[in-house]
Amino acid sequence: MNKRLQSIIEWTIAAILLVTAVYPFIYYGSFSALKAYQKSEQSYHYGPSEILEVIDFPKGRIFLGKYDKWFSAHTIKKGLIRWYPGGDPGGYPIKENEQISSTWSGSRISDDYYLYKVYGYVNNSDITTVTLEVEWIKEDKTENKVLEYKLKDHRGFIFYWNENETKYKLETLRGLDTNGNILYEQDYQ
């Protein structure tokens, strides 16, 4: 084999390896968080979702969404220049026979950020506030704490935190009416 042909083969192999290594960063990344979110849903054959709320957190963005009879809280991670899917592209069913449909998830965003989310959709129009009772685990003690989310017109809710900084053990999710009466309760224990 002559040197010219050998050089062409070597450069072709190098180009294929380079494209294979760089392709995921080019294809999956987008210059906007919204485009990354839309691409991620398309790759999962889900949506397009109605975006209920957009939540910024230090390492990215969460899109709280609803599609048909499903709800989602999709995480998009911020790269150096581009945005990338971060997990949970699909949805969870809205159970019409339940007052609140909810789920939880966690995903590593970076070495120092583990995003934990509890989120859902409220079917009962009498529920105006969703609370999440947690056991806050500190270095020297534990403490009970209640997180609160005032519902908006879209009826979705989300609680989120960095599990590397704040350690919560889930206790109880509640749905309250305008007078603070408990209309729904779900224990995690």
The answer for residues whose C-beta is within 8 angstroms of residue 133's C-beta and 6 or more apart is 144, 145, 146, 147, 171, 172, 173, 174
* CATH assignment, 31-187: 2.60.40
Residue 30 DSSP label: B
Residue 28: predicted pLDDT: 63
What are the structure tokens assigned to 176, written together?
């309250």
Q: How confident is the model at residue 17 (pLDDT cuts 50, 70, 90)?
A: confident
Q: What span, in angstroms and rounded, lies between the C-alpha atoms of 13 and 179? A: 69
Residue 65 CA, distance from chain mean position: 10
Of all residues in the chain, the percent with pLDDT exceeding 70 is 94
Mean pLDDT within 77-101: 89
CA dihedral for 161, 166, 169, 172, sign (positive or negative): negative
Sheet holding 156-162, edge to edge: 100-110, 113-122, 156-162
Most confident by average pLDDT, 32-41, 53-62, 88-97: 53-62
Q: Answer with the residue of higher pLDDT: 121 or 20.
A: 121
pTM of the model as a whole: 0.84
What pLDDT is attached to residue 40?
86
